[in-house]
Structure 1
């Protein structure tokens, strides 16, 4: 983080100084006393199970020189003379306000990415493409919410040309707040599915929530959307530029001749108003990554990259772990996709399994969360698609396992287990040399435990 002064911070977050210390300049923001460094700003965030205001004295003792609080839970006599304390109405709002102010001090382009699925892969692809010409920062891990995204913004400095920031949500208004803080110059929307439909009610509401990424757009901004998605294809012209990609109809970028390999995809791309077909190769598996890659290509074009620079970037992509990560162990090929689960990402993962070379094809699937009334049908359809993809054995763990099994077909090879260890014991007697195993579930199910056991399989 570049320097911020106490006065800048006070104005940016509309804070009230209740103690003024001796430090005037700050270079880092922390919300966790365990990671504090000497001279840091400590921003006391309230969570469901904790209150950061309880740890102000601890933060000060560990070196914080500015504490931002929304509740005074300390004695003034406990505060050291060199520490400043700012009081605000709400620290969760303050972190967004401070991130927005800091973002505006930097001469940097921001690319914001949202969507029901594919955000992280698209982030990785976009950062790889842009990285062939510019110095690029990209969101680390799952720092894509109203606390994580500001922390990513504070990680920026003036050495970066572009920031590629992932924006997640589970309810309306959240993308609006992220867009407020990040002020993206270019926004990419991967798709609109049924993730979080339990909270939002309809896909129309999900589309509306995703479109909040454009709430601060003007005629200088660009929105890039995947028009193979039925909901995104309904987006009308706006007072900012819209770039449309896909494989159907007449679009700004249209893919043809898609070839899926075990660890990559190849396709030809036709750009609007040209007759030329340009061939691209993405070193990530899955047909869905053609669409994700096209979003990245369109973004690269908007930022002045040549075809050669884009091609070089796509070949150097570094994928985030546990996102369709293909692992070759001594005995097996393991597709580790344990980070999240939704119907669209399940279909994409099963496509990758289908295209992997091997003997038996085994899918270990866990529950897809936050689907509300759609849960039963969604799990059934995934089971049905697993059968279409030639899965030899379907193992189901968690809620809605019976729906997976019904979709897969009652008399087919499918097993339901109560927990991961039971499934692992069964697998030890079933798998053999050369099998391919897909492991996928929502993050909370921690299926990486299964992946680690499979890697150890002798």
Structure 2
């Protein structure tokens, strides 16, 4: 982090309570991860109050602590490090990241959408990587704490930052967009994720659209033209590019070939066809790739450079991660789930020609009143595409009602399934494992990896 103490005070409107001259480097909000000369920023959250752990942070090597409450004896901290008092530590984190982003002056690409954000982020970073030094959001650091922490990991050696922006309610992406100020924004789609809070897809669209709240004529918005909700977005104040399968779009794909572990498609540019092959399965990843190509074209990356950049693709784990064991193949897609992503993953499973196709599906969270219909619809979609459906959790009967076939087994919870795993899974099975994050279906993946089939 390339900031001076004076700049930190300016950005956070902070006041020095205790001062000790020392070196400092990166921000850390977790005392368990403190390293020498870190700045410990005490988050006052719902589950814990970081202000209680300032002395612990100093004892582990922190040189500065930023707090919004004094919950320690000041005499106990004298000589340990510098203490800066701010009005609100979470706001201070956002303000500090906003200040730092402006100081660095690099290009920022913001990515949001109901599903596909992470895969699209990974693809954008890869397509840009041959020409630029690219930073991308790690894991799921895409909220009001995670995003500013990602910005504060940057330094002046980077050319582009690709930042994922998530939300669960209105106003949240606005906060992230004000902090990150993306030059280019990408919206993957508008689905049903978070409809429990937002009630309608119109509100979901409104929430995702906050990503361009601070746009002007210098900014570009890149949209998935195959999503009918995104077709509603029009604006004369900034540039809009659309991607999809229609030749009328700014970037469009054709001659698509779907395989078990890769996807090939063509793109037309200046009346010339260019063929891409990406090591990711599923037609939905064609659209994600087209969004990435749109970003790369906007940043003057040639198709040849994009193709070479694909070799640098680092896909985030638990997103259609194929694990090939001696007797079974596992498709680990249990990081999260929504109706649209469920269907996309089932389509990927359906591309496998050898072995019995098994889908182990769990609960999709945050669907509110749409939950029953959504689980039933996914069950119906799985018909003729899977040879065994294993439905687990509260909505197992909804899956069953939609599937309407005998080749389904239901379990109340994953523990019940794990007790019966060896009776369900057979040699040569290809197994999709998918549910919302809270279901922790990676435990099923781990058991499948260890099982003696």
**What range is the shorter-chain TM-score in?**
over 0.9
| 1:27 is the counterpart of 2:25 | yes
What CA distance in whole angstroms lies between the structure 1 residues aligned with 2:80 and 2:422?
61
Q: Provide the residue aligned with 1:6 in structure 2.
A: 5
Q: Provide the residue aligned with 2:16 in structure 1.
A: 17
Aligned length: 452
Retained in 2: the 8 A contact 1:331–1:457? no
| 1:376 is the counterpart of 2:372 | yes
What does the per-residue CA deviation read over 1:308-356, in whole Å, with 9 as the maximum and x for residues that have no partner? 1112223442211110011111001110001000011101100000002
| 1:229 is the counterpart of 2:206 | no
What is the TM-score when the length of structure 2 is the normalising length? 0.97
What is the TM-score when the length of structure 1 is the normalising length? 0.96
What CA distance in whole angstroms lies between the structure 2 residues aligned with 1:190 and 1:199?
20
Q: CA deviation at 1:392?
A: 1.3
Select which of 398, 412, 416 maps to 2:410.
416
| 1:397 is the counterpart of 2:392 | yes
Q: Which secondary structure does the structure 1 equivalent of 2:214 belong to?
A: coil
Retained in 2: the 8 A contact 1:266–1:282? yes
Select which of 426, 440, 448 maps to 1:446.
440
Structure 1 residues 43-442: aligned runs within 5 Å: 43-81=41-79, 83-248=81-246, 250-271=248-269, 274-389=270-385, 391-409=386-404, 411-442=405-436
Q: CA deviation at 1:76?
A: 1.4
Q: Which secondary structure does the structure 2 equivalent of 1:26 belong to?
A: coil
Q: Which secondary structure does the structure 2 equivalent of 1:255 belong to?
A: strand
Q: CA deviation at 1:108?
A: 1.6
What CA distance in whole angstroms lies between the structure 2 residues aligned with 1:345 and 1:291?
13
Q: CA deviation at 1:400?
A: 1.2
Q: CA deviation at 1:447?
A: 0.8
Q: CA deviation at 1:60?
A: 2.0
Q: Provide the residue aligned with 1:36 in structure 2.
A: 34
Q: CA deviation at 1:372?
A: 0.5
Q: CA deviation at 1:430?
A: 3.2
Q: CA deviation at 1:85?
A: 1.8
What does the per-residue CA deviation read over 1:15-72, in whole Å, with 9 as the maximum and x for residues that have no partner? 222223323x532111011111222211110222100011112112222222111111
Q: Which secondary structure does the structure 2 equivalent of 1:165 belong to?
A: strand
Retained in 1: the 8 A contact 2:58–2:80? no
Gap runs ≥5 in structure 1? none
Q: CA deviation at 1:82?
A: 5.4
What does the per-residue CA deviation read over 1:359-381, in whole Å, with 9 as the maximum and x for residues that have no partner? 21110001000000111100001
Retained in 1: the 8 A contact 2:389–2:409? yes
What CA distance in whole angstroms lies between the structure 2 residues aligned with 1:437 and 1:260?
18
Q: CA deviation at 1:405?
A: 1.0
Retained in 2: the 8 A contact 1:360–1:434? yes
What CA distance in whole angstroms lies between the structure 1 residues aligned with 2:216 and 2:145?
26
Retained in 2: the 8 A contact 1:365–1:397? yes
Q: Which secondary structure does the structure 1 equivalent of 2:316 belong to?
A: coil
RMSD of aligned residue pairs (Cα, Å): 1.4
Q: CA deviation at 1:249?
A: 6.4
What does the per-residue CA deviation read over 1:383-442, in whole Å, with 9 as the maximum and x for residues that have no partner? 0011142x1111111121111111011x42112212223213433123322211000011
What CA distance in whole angstroms lies between the structure 1 residues aligned with 2:302 and 2:32?
45
What does the per-residue CA deviation read over 1:192-215, in whole Å, with 9 as the maximum and x for residues that have no partner? 101001111111111111111112
Q: Which secondary structure does the structure 2 equivalent of 1:145 belong to?
A: coil
Q: Show structure 1 runs of 4+ deviating over 4 A.
A: none
Q: CA deviation at 1:293?
A: 0.1
Gap runs ≥5 in structure 2? none
What CA distance in whole angstroms lies between the structure 1 residues aligned with 2:424 and 2:54?
54
